[in-house]
Amino acid sequence: MQQHVVIVGGGMVGLSLALMLAKANIQVKLLEAISYPNYEDANLAPYHSSFDARNTALSRRSVQIYQELGLWDVLQQYATPILQVDITEQGSFGKARLIAEKEKVESFGQVIENAWLGRILLTQVRAHQNIELIDGVQVTDLKQDEKFAYIEAKRGDEVLTIEAPLVIAADGRDSFCRKALGIGFSTHEYDQVAIVTTVQTSKPHAHIGFERFSALGPLALLPVPGEYRRSVVWPVKKGTEHEWLGEENDQHFLDALQKTYGDRAGKFEKTGKRFSYPLSQVLAEKQAVGRVVLMGNAAHTIHPVAGQGFNLCLRDAHVLLRFLSEQLAQKQDIGEPTMLKAYEQARLKDQQRVIRFCDLVVRGFSNQNIILKLIRNTGLLAFETIPGFKPLVATYAMGLKA
């Protein structure tokens, strides 16, 4: 029986999953549309669409997963721990503070630049003997029958045909594979775009993360390597992004941060180039169909407000690995549809909890309704005063409870 797996999409999720499977001695073929950067050549852009100028806040559970993979020692050199989180709302008295030491944890998570995370994952994938990496190929057809899934992929005029007992589609929010299998999905546009950059402040970050709900949108400021550097993720109203992008708006952007934050981070002194990302929620109606499983953004794309998307994807990948390993240990078919359905069922609770939470935060804090505002204030106070509530939220945010 052939027991190899094809992964379509070598973004951060596809690369991580490939490494998990390869470590479990599963043969992987990884197909990626974009040609990866050549890191040996300093003239080539270091960014790939999946690992670009963004930073990712890895939850403690994600760090554990990379530790199991034997990657954390390398990744850690580029990561900054979050030791405190302050949640506030501009113009209101509510405030919530989480302190790692008080919650008896080393940190709430680690922030790493996507460019570094992607680069390290890619280097490991390139070196792994159980992974065949084929980049610069676009998957253009996907079909399946009882025995196999069949892929057609194109690189220029060259056509590749590949069959496999299991295909994992990690091909992003607009997943071709999802469409090819006729899997329906729901979409919600948030009418927001995220402005993303790195800034320098006069006060050291001291490993404190801020989430500030402002009139313009919920603003996240996270510590990154370099004592005075912080990553900014600021969802603003769609259509207003031109106000913030471009070198000519550097000072305007810094002033807006200063106004929103006051003195909490000191003076906002310098800003890097800003990038914008449209924000939407895209949820596949099914994640396992026959011998194909959707993974990562192809299965669920969510708002980055609480930095949960990638962390959720890693937990999915880790559970799928467990199902596949058990299947192989029993010498069973690795693409067995009922086993894949059982994987999907096993993940629904955690996924729905995270999806609901992120959606609620965005909708709840975007609305200027006075009653909602009152609930938000008392909500933040409750967060501070109800015994047991804070550790519970911290546990969920760290990805330790499914």
Ligand X SMILES: Cc1cc2nc3c(=O)[nH]c(=O)nc-3n(C[C@H](O)[C@H](O)[C@H](O)COP(=O)(O)OP(=O)(O)OC[C@H]3O[C@@H](n4cnc5c(N)ncnc54)[C@H](O)[C@@H]3O)c2cc1C
Between vectors from CA 145 to CA 142 and to CA 151, what angle results, nearest 5°?
A: 25
* Between 310 and 323, CB nearer to ligand X: 310
Reduced to 3 states, what is the DSSP secondary structure of residue 392?
helix
* Between 152 and 333, CB nearer to ligand X: 152
* Between 197 and 201, CB nearer to ligand X: 197
The least CB distance from residue 139 to ligand X, in Å, is: 4
Between vectors from CA 307 to CA 112 and to CA 303, what angle results, nearest 5°?
A: 135
> Within 13 Å of residue 71, how many CA atoms lie on the same side as its CB?
26
The least CB distance from residue 142 to ligand X, in Å, is: 9
The least CB distance from residue 231 to ligand X, in Å, is: 8
The least CB distance from residue 150 to ligand X, in Å, is: 15
* Between 171 and 344, CB nearer to ligand X: 171
Burial (CB count <10 Å: 0-12, 13-18, 19+), residue 315: buried
Which pair of tokens denotes residue 66? 């990379």
Helices (H) and strands (E) in the chain, counts: 10, 21
Which pair of tokens denotes residue 363? 């909708």
User: What residue type is assigned to position 30 of the chain?
Assistant: L
The least CB distance from residue 19 to ligand X, in Å, is: 13
* Between 256 and 327, CB nearer to ligand X: 256
The least CB distance from residue 343 to ligand X, in Å, is: 17
In this structure, what are the phi and psi dihedrals at residue 123, rounded to the nearest 5 degrees?
-60, -40
The least CB distance from residue 299 to ligand X, in Å, is: 8
Backbone CA torsion sign across 54, 59, 65, 70 = positive
* Between 178 and 373, CB nearer to ligand X: 178
Three-state secondary structure of 185-234: EEEEEEEEEEEEEEEEECCCCCCEEEEEECCCCEEEEEECCCCCEEEEEE
Task: Report the distance separating Cα 94 and Cα 375, nearest Å.
Answer: 10
Between vectors from CA 356 to CA 316 and to CA 288, what angle results, nearest 5°?
A: 35
* Between 33 and 340, CB nearer to ligand X: 33
What residue ranges bind ligand X (CB under 6 A)? 8-14, 31-34, 49-50, 54, 56-57, 138-139, 170-173, 176, 194, 196, 233, 277, 296-297, 304, 307-311, 313
Buried b (16+ CB within 10 A) or exposed e, 127-158: ebebbebebebbbeebebeeebbbbebeeeee
The least CB distance from residue 308 to ligand X, in Å, is: 5
